[in-house]
Structure 1
Amino acid sequence: MRPPIKTIRCMILSTLFVAAFAPCLLFAGGRGDLHIAVVCPLSGRNASNGKAVIQGVRLYVDAVNRGGGVDGKKIVLDVYDDGDDADTAAKMARDIAGADRALAVIGHESSTCSMMGGEVYLQHRIPALSPTSTDVRVTRGNPWYFRMTFNNEFQGRFLANYMRKVFRQGHVSVIHEDLAYGANLAEVFVGAAKNLGVRVPHVWRYDVKDKGLDQRLEEIVDELDRAGEKAGAVFIALHPPEGFKLITLLRDRGIENRIVFAAGLSSPEFLRQFSRYPKEMEHPGYYTDGMYAASGVIFDTADEKDQAFMEAYRRAYGEEPNRRAAFSYDAAKVVHRALEDAGISGDLEELATDRHRIRQWLASRDSSFKAISGVTGRTYFNADGDPSKPITMGMFKNRRLVSAPIQLQEVPSLSEIPNVRTALADERVIRVGGRYFYKTNVVYTGIQMDKISEIDIRSQTYLADFHVWFRYHGSIEPQDIEFLNATEPVEMGAQLAEKQTGQMTYRMYKVQGRFMMDSYSDRRMYGEHVLNISFRHRELPRCNLIYVTDLLGMEPPETLQEKIATTRVLNPAEDWTVSGIYFFQGVSEKESLGHPDHLESQSGVVDYSKFKIGVRIKKQELRLRRNLPPMSVNYLFGASLAVLLCGFVPGIKRESFLLVKAATVAILLVSSEIILLQWFLERHQTHHLQPIIRIFDILWWGVPAFFLIRCIERYIWTPLEQKTNRSIPNLVRRFVKIFIWMLVCFGILAFVFDRKITSLLATSGVITMIIGLAIQVNIANIFSGIAINLERPFQIGDWIKINDLSQGKVTDITWRTTRIWTSDNNMVNIPNSMASEAVIVNYNRPDEAFKIDIDVHLDAVHPPEQVEEIMREAMLSVPGVRRVEVLFQFHDWGCIYTGSIFVRDYGEIQSFQHAATKKIWAALTREGIEPMGLKYAPWMTKDPAP
């Protein structure tokens, strides 16, 4: 028994649906997933730290999974909460090992937890990567543990050197916690400070689990207050919960000593804790202004990669990232690269082998040539699993952490320094352990856009008026700059302001010039263009000067974007709107060209600090293309493909499916374009983006034109033919098609290739004139054909007679000729110019009733009424005859009866005449009336009133 048709259709549709969504279903199903364990404090005193770790890791992993995962396998995060407790951390590590599926571990956040968990990872041979643990014991002696940040040994020595050689401190006191992080850091700092000749008069320690912790912190502050200036500067190594309490006590007591924190207190979350206090609400930064902190990354020095990370983080979580999020993001990146390059299988049976391969791959990243570039710098590991990451010194101001005026930048190669001993003696270079650092000036830089005009997309240039200012320490000349993207040399305008405050100098200038735009080709996929301004110092390389964003002097990007829109920085007449704004510092390379100051550069190029501001603009228009959420495009693509495949299911009327197909193809175009562009973007093949966009721009003209022609055929020509029962001439159909495709071609040339149509039309007009002279006769036929279609003296299907030619049926009206099928079965092609001027008899007008006359000659002895009735009945008995008439008249030798029949098909007149004559003859014979002769009238007339 065959299944019902409905069942067959459902089976076909289900198969098509599964086929279209198979990739999505397989990807979402979790088969072949690669598990990574993430362990950090999601509860307890440092839960905010764990939140940053999770968000940083998830941000990167989600992007990888959206791009297809690792060889089509999804990365799954198994999250564990260690509560920032050593015992809990050990238990979580055992749980990770017991689950027996994690290829690697990202965690723990604190050093104490990392050391406890590290014993388990070493025992079970699980590679682990800590984003933020700094105690040297975390990785030392454990070949399965690596870290993303600097360790306490380097941090302690670095801060001791900074306080001695930058701050010129002769004596420093220390406050630290009893946990591994603070205790180890304080020990290293004290030893390094004493080696530098710095006296350490006080070292205060507290127990984080002490029930009288608050009282102990107050005792420390009391002792510091009594010591006063004798205590010197104060170095603090502890975690945020106690740090918050301690700083509050210090400021409320009025302690004026210089305060320097270790990296643990540099996060935005830590600073936000003070906002609930009245003094902080009245004066933001009251509790922390003027204090310093070490950090792995400060975002006023963010380059383009960092800027992209910050923007993605804000978009995903609605908050600013901190250093923990940045290090965790990079940790996920390193693990991802290990999964891709280590040749892992992903099978649980091969778990131990895969873990070993990952560990070997991490250990093989042992030089800068094999480093993984990320938000926090280049990551590669020494024999202890520690990276060579820099430390940025920050200064708290207005509840922000900004780069300190003097930074220590690592010297890539000692060969760059002609005389190392002299540089060390002059303190132009500082040695920390076995590493050497330049003493570098930081210039806080800001730009205010005043006017943007003359935006030329074709030449990719624009005119900009803006203010630029510099705030810096020392006697350098930061205004001696070179604009890198200026179309012609731009000179600094007049100095508008200058002010000296202590050791800090402020200068502001007015600048105007024409600049190149759109260095970010990937933004064009969103219909955006980028207006850039970038510059570097003419003489001082990056080791001497760094331009950083003046976070204190410049408003946030969102505020600047709104300000540009409201103050009409962009010319409203040009219909541009601002879609985003960013500013960051980067590196600009310049050939040394044998300059004496740079002869020691091994690469032949010199790095300069580059400052850059970009304003993203787009036209004020509604756009669907490249505007869909990335997560939805895969499903839209699969759904549209399934709907199109449904058009081949038996029983579905394709013509009625036309509008659905048109909408589905539009969705398919939108989704496939985004998928292709994202695919190339994730592989950094940006040179493919513009050709793909160009192809889809053309498709967005061609595909709608195709469906428009189909819709005209389906919803205009076909209904007209059915209503009028006449065919639409091919001339009309082709004319409409050619007109539509001509408009498409002009649209593509104008809007896709940015060509002016006026010049194209002028050129095409000259060519048309030349061709027209050569084909005058054909042009006359074409316009005569158009006139025939407009005046409609005849249509396809009409029977006509033109001049003395035989009668025939019109079969087609082309561009050049009218085709007639004659009654003697010949095809006659008449030029349209002749047909338009000829005398035409149309047998189908004013309607389709044809009249055929048959004359019957009878003797006058027969009653006329009888004869008329006999003839009328005989003629009505002929199939196809609509109605009849009989006329009677006398003749010299008898009577003539004219029988008229009315039929619709002129092509069958002989058949009707033959059948009607036979019927009349037979009927008269039956009644005993002998015709004197039956004669067919050789003419045919139209019924005036059918």
Structure 2
Amino acid sequence: MQNLRPWLGTLTKKQLFTLFFVLAAIVASALSALVWMFFLKEPVGNPMRIAVVAPFTGADKAQGEAMQRGVDLLVQQINRKGGIQGRMLAMEKIDEGTSADSAIQAARKAETDPDVIGVVGHWHGAAAAKAIPLYGEKSLPAILMTSAPDKSLPENPYVFRPLIDETTEIRFLANYLRNVVGEKTVFVLHEANPRGEQLATAFDEVYQRFGTKVLYKWPLTPGKMDDELKAVVAEVEAKKLFGTFLVLGEVESAIRMIATLREGGVRQRIVGMRQLASRGFQDGFAAEWKGKGTPAAALNGTLMTTPMLFDTAGERAQKFQTGFSGFHHTWPDWVAAYAYESAKLMSEALAEGYGKEGDKTLRQRVREHIAARNQVEKAFPGINGPLFFNARGIAARDSMVGLYDGASLVAAMTQLSPIREEGVTNLLGEVTSGRALYVNDRFMYKTNVVYTGVRLAKVSALDRSANTVEIDFSVWFRWRGDFEPQDVVFTNAVTPLTLEKPTREGKDGDMNYRAYRLRGKFYMGYSDIERNYGTQLVGLSFHHRTLGSHNLMYVSDLLGMNLVNRAQGEAGYPPDSQSGSGAEAKPKEPTLLERVRAYFHLDEEVTDPIEVALNRDKVLAGASGWLIMRAWLSQEVMPRGVDGSPVFVGFGKPRPLFSLLDAGMVLKPDRFDARDVLHSTDQFVYLAIFSFVMSMLARLLDRKDRGQFWRIQTLFLRMIFWPTLLMTIGNLARDYSLQNFTSSTVDGVVMVFDTLWFFIPARLAIIALERFIWVPLENRTQRKIPNVLRMTVVLIVYLLAGFGVVAFVMDKSITSMLATSGVMAMIIGMAVQSNLRDIVSGIMLNIERPFNIGDTIRLNNSMGVVSDITWRTTRLTSLDGQQISFPNSKTSDAEIQNFTKPRNIKRNLDVYTDPRHEPAFVLKLIKECLAQVKSLPTDAPANEAPKAYYFGVTLKEGAWVAHYPVGMYMPFAKRKAAIQEFWQLLWKTFEANNIAWRERPLQASEDDEGSDGAV
């Protein structure tokens, strides 16, 4: 340390401060490393893995890529939030191949990896059948994506299936075609293998139950499919066959079947199974199509069963779709959605079980967590609705029916929903009336689908205190059938709204259309949608007044809102088949700026087409200060009150569930938020540590007063790092309280930190006043500023901060407080106005400094030495020793003569002699005397040198005398001594040279008040 001191002494102040700052940064980095090592570091070096076992090569690789993208999205979302209890999550990509042997190898690779805690995948039924037993050996839970029949797969308590098997699905499709579509003639094209034969037979069996059968079945051999398809087209043309074509095959086979039929001129309806609803089919068909027109025209009207439709799904599915498209720059399909949902179910099990019950492995915890989802009350809130499994690990979900409108997949106008076992007692009556069907050995309702769109025009009058907002919007309905879907109830309307006179209406064939324009006041926060603290949920929701979800389902009319294809084009995603391109389109290469924004996750919600439309239409023009964080138009099935309606009340009656359409958006304040830059909790912790260390550095440097430079630097440190420390700790405390405390406690925590945002700047302002006003003023005046003045200023600053808290944190009016404060200030001011005037005058005197302590001054008619200057009075000691006090207000108004401020003062003397003496000789004698006066300054400038003149002969008191004026500059303190010395020397000189004086020579008085005083 002693060796360092000489070196430190050679550094400038700036260099020394930089050195201290760097050392503090090193300390902060070391503390951050320790916190990471002991608290934030992953408990185990290797991340936990979810294996995706799927076809990544061969004809079905598109399905494997969809599963991979779904799981990869979940992994990225979890790791962005710091992992699962500090441990990262990873995805293991394993190719299941095309044979049973390769599937076994893939399964063994997954189950032998100790870090793999679950498997998502297996597209092929044969591969899944071989792999299932292996997962039981190592207790590895697996969620299968295969559609193989239940009977073809062995049972294993570690294996779960969220999809219905394809045998049930083909029977459902047969019932739908026969009873809903009314199609009696169906032609089947299927792969020439056991699976194709089995599906074709199952379909035919259902048709035979209704008194008809499939007349034509064409098995197609994979190696000879092209020639066989051309023969089928020729046969159809030759025999003039008219009906519906059912294509049964994997994605590649289905593409070739449909493309050959359409290219051959077959225009009849085509139907299929879930393979036709995948993104792999859509992209593959666009690449395969070589016929006339666009791929969209060829696909238009194609109908298929599908596990999921995004326009009928809820807000979770909408959020997944937006996140998926923003991350992968392509649109998801049901394959990616189910893979994401399966991986999320596993990750939830890890989050709840990790670190607990040390005698169980992670795999066992995952399996037990999934198996516990065994009834609707315990269902997992999946993106496609509640997910739960029966005792065999099979999910209780049903198929939906989709339809290609061009290249866009939308819900068919009629869906089938199951009737529970203890449902309606008169089931046969429901079937006879046409409201229900008997499908797959159970009764199902025929549910009418209504395409519904909502366009928010303007949002205004956002009142947080009343929790209301005014919305101007349009709503429309497109439907088939004889009912009134616009008889709706707005669930969050402040006053009831009714749809009376439509702005537009029409009919296209059997399709009805009505549109309405409304304006109303709605409650905010109308649902429990997940959102951050401080945001506002704005929107509207409605359901039919009397028709439950088994009779009517609202779906988002994305086509009618012109969102689907526009969003793809704007986001730069691969174009759909409407582009007419025969080759598979590739994503647009991102720019450098886009790469940077993607790296920092700044574009997560930008690709949301609904949000883009709302921003384009300036929906928030009437609600300034807010930004759209995310938006959606989704359909949910929710329980609602029925006011005792007999349709829903009583044993065996359907549950009172209604299809509810929700058009909402989450708004955030239009201001900077730390979450826009810092995305993980770890980043907040590290920044808090750095800010704390720098705040402590400022405190250490202030322990000793080192001068104004260091005061400025430490204040600068506080101004930067106190708000940063408050921001980081506030966000951490808010996030922790949101997860662990009640809403009232959260509000209290937030209020505390919001209050500190006013008092921290107030404290910084007080420090700045102390360092740049009070201390310099004391140094200049050499007087201590009264504490009463300091405390008054501090009180005023904190009072202003308190007003800010009341106005902006508590959102209360401060008018009455300001009025009360003004009256009190007026009363106090009137009571102490004279003292305040003296204090203000004292401040001005200290600033202007017309005199200092020890100066000799003349104040009005009093002359003396300044002995003291306080904040109220100025004190003089007169020449005769008296103490005189003047109020500062009178001192500042008085005429002040300062005799100490000038370096020297001038004294004028008059010398008179007999006029008979030679003037030149007399002047010589006077000047010799002036040169001998020791009290005069020797270093005076030339203009202050002593001078003497001959002024002629004048009549003085009845006698003629010669007049010699004399001028001398001297210090004020030596004025009397200099004058006395001069007169003594002059008297001796005149006497020695016989210069005649009058009996009493006329001379100036030595009194300071005489005419010969300083002029």
Superposed, 1:235-634 pairs within 5 Å as 235-275=246-286, 285-342=296-353, 353-411=361-419, 413-433=420-440, 435-519=442-526, 525=532, 529-556=536-563, 570-571=620-621, 574=624, 580-600=630-650, 606-615=656-665, 623-631=671-679, 634=682
One-letter code of the match for 1:788?
Answer: G
3-state SS of 1:591 partner: coil
Equivalent-residue separation in structure 1 for 2:652 and 2:874 (angstroms): 85
Equivalent-residue separation in structure 2 for 1:279 and 1:846 (angstroms): 110
One-letter code of the match for 1:312?
Answer: G
3-state SS of 1:42 partner: coil
Q: 1:79 to 1:822 in 2, by over 3 A?
A: farther
Identity of aligned residues (%): 26
Q: Deviations over 1:502-558 (max 9, x none)?
A: 332222223232223344788885875443122111111111111111122112276
State whether residues 47 and 83 of structure 1, in contact with CA within 8 Å, keep that contact through their aligned partners in structure 2.
Answer: no
Report the counterpart of residue 913 of structure 2 in structure 1.
none
Q: 1:792 to 1:594 in 2, by over 3 A?
A: same
The answer on 1:144 being equivalent to 2:158 is yes
Q: 1:618 to 1:105 in 2, by over 3 A?
A: closer
Superposed, 1:677-696 pairs within 5 Å as 677=734, 691=748, 693-696=750-753
3-state SS of 2:676 partner: coil
Cα deviation for residue 866 of structure 1 reads 12
The answer on 1:836 being equivalent to 2:889 is yes
One-letter code of the match for 2:522?
Answer: F
Quick one: which of 637, 653, 664 aligns to 2:721? 664
Cα deviation for residue 104 of structure 1 reads 1.9
Q: 1:400 to 1:188 in 2, by over 3 A?
A: same
Structure with bigger gyration radius: 2
Q: 1:885 to 1:109 in 2, by over 3 A?
A: farther
Report the counterpart of residue 744 of structure 1 in structure 2.
801
Cα deviation for residue 368 of structure 1 reads 2.0
State whether residues 517 and 530 of structure 1, in contact with CA within 8 Å, keep that contact through their aligned partners in structure 2.
Answer: yes
Report the counterpart of residue 31 of structure 1 in structure 2.
44
Cα deviation for residue 488 of structure 1 reads 1.0
Equivalent-residue separation in structure 1 for 2:319 and 2:129 (angstroms): 33
Equivalent-residue separation in structure 2 for 1:751 and 1:846 (angstroms): 57
State whether residues 446 and 470 of structure 1, in contact with CA within 8 Å, keep that contact through their aligned partners in structure 2.
Answer: yes
Equivalent-residue separation in structure 1 for 2:875 and 2:193 (angstroms): 104
Q: Deviations over 1:476-514 (max 9, x none)?
A: 111111122222121213123333333322222232322
State whether residues 118 and 138 of structure 1, in contact with CA within 8 Å, keep that contact through their aligned partners in structure 2.
Answer: no
Moved more, 841-850 or 37-46: 841-850
Q: Report the TM-score when normalising by structure 1.
A: 0.79
3-state SS of 1:447 partner: strand
The answer on 1:90 being equivalent to 2:100 is no
Cα deviation for residue 632 of structure 1 reads 5.6
State whether residues 695 and 717 of structure 2, in contact with CA within 8 Å, keep that contact through their aligned partners in structure 1.
Answer: no
3-state SS of 2:539 partner: strand
Cα deviation for residue 575 of structure 1 reads 6.6
Q: Deviations over 1:402-427 (max 9, x none)?
A: 1111111123x344413223224444
The answer on 1:44 being equivalent to 2:41 is no
State whether residues 843 and 850 of structure 1, in contact with CA within 8 Å, keep that contact through their aligned partners in structure 2.
Answer: no
One-letter code of the match for 1:236?
Answer: V
Cα deviation for residue 610 of structure 1 reads 1.2
Report the counterpart of residue 155 of structure 1 in structure 2.
169
Superposed, 1:925-936 pairs within 5 Å as none
Equivalent-residue separation in structure 1 for 2:780 and 2:643 (angstroms): 83
Moved more, 393-402 or 884-893: 884-893
Please, which runs of 5 or more residues in structure 1 have no aligned partner?
Answer: 853-862, 874-881, 898-936
State whether residues 228 and 257 of structure 1, in contact with CA within 8 Å, keep that contact through their aligned partners in structure 2.
Answer: no
Report the counterpart of residue 212 of structure 1 in structure 2.
224
Cα deviation for residue 263 of structure 1 reads 0.9
Equivalent-residue separation in structure 1 for 2:616 and 2:373 (angstroms): 51
Quick one: which of 29, 38, 49 aligns to 1:17? 29
One-letter code of the match for 2:448?
Answer: N
One-letter code of the match for 2:28?
Answer: L
One-letter code of the match for 1:102?
Answer: V
State whether residues 590 and 605 of structure 1, in contact with CA within 8 Å, keep that contact through their aligned partners in structure 2.
Answer: no
One-letter code of the match for 2:843?
Answer: N
Please, which runs of 5 or more residues in structure 2 have no aligned partner?
Answer: 9-18, 568-607, 703-709, 906-927, 939-970, 988-1005
Q: 1:615 to 1:374 in 2, by over 3 A?
A: closer
Superposed, 1:694-709 pairs within 5 Å as 694-709=751-766
One-letter code of the match for 2:560?
Answer: G
Q: 1:196 to 1:693 in 2, by over 3 A?
A: farther
Q: 1:658 to 1:519 in 2, by over 3 A?
A: farther
Cα deviation for residue 54 of structure 1 reads 1.9
Equivalent-residue separation in structure 2 for 1:366 and 1:553 (angstroms): 39
3-state SS of 1:211 partner: helix
Equivalent-residue separation in structure 1 for 2:292 and 2:35 (angstroms): 53
Q: Deviations over 1:778-823 (max 9, x none)?
A: 344234423432454887985699999998866864xxx6799999
Report the counterpart of residue 110 of structure 1 in structure 2.
124
CA RMSD of aligned residues (A): 4.8
Superposed, 1:819-858 pairs within 5 Å as 834-837=887-890
Cα deviation for residue 36 of structure 1 reads 2.6
Equivalent-residue separation in structure 2 for 1:181 and 1:668 (angstroms): 65
Q: 1:594 to 1:578 in 2, by over 3 A?
A: closer
Moved more, 508-517 or 537-546: 508-517
Report the counterpart of residue 917 of structure 1 in structure 2.
none
Equivalent-residue separation in structure 2 for 1:50 and 1:624 (angstroms): 41
Q: Deviations over 1:855-902 (max 9, x none)?
A: xxxxxxxx99999659999xxxxxxxx9985734559998999xxxxx
Q: 1:588 to 1:555 in 2, by over 3 A?
A: same
One-letter code of the match for 1:611?
Answer: L
State whether residues 313 and 385 of structure 2, in contact with CA within 8 Å, keep that contact through their aligned partners in structure 1.
Answer: no
Q: 1:81 to 1:575 in 2, by over 3 A?
A: same
State whether residues 889 and 895 of structure 1, in contact with CA within 8 Å, keep that contact through their aligned partners in structure 2.
Answer: no
Equivalent-residue separation in structure 2 for 1:307 and 1:179 (angstroms): 38
Length, aligned pairs only: 868
Quick one: which of 644, 650, 654 aligns to 2:692? 644
Equivalent-residue separation in structure 1 for 2:136 and 2:218 (angstroms): 35
Moved more, 101-110 or 527-536: 527-536
Q: 1:811 to 1:261 in 2, by over 3 A?
A: farther
Equivalent-residue separation in structure 2 for 1:252 and 1:707 (angstroms): 78
One-letter code of the match for 1:631?
Answer: H
3-state SS of 1:698 partner: helix
Equivalent-residue separation in structure 2 for 1:688 and 1:84 (angstroms): 57
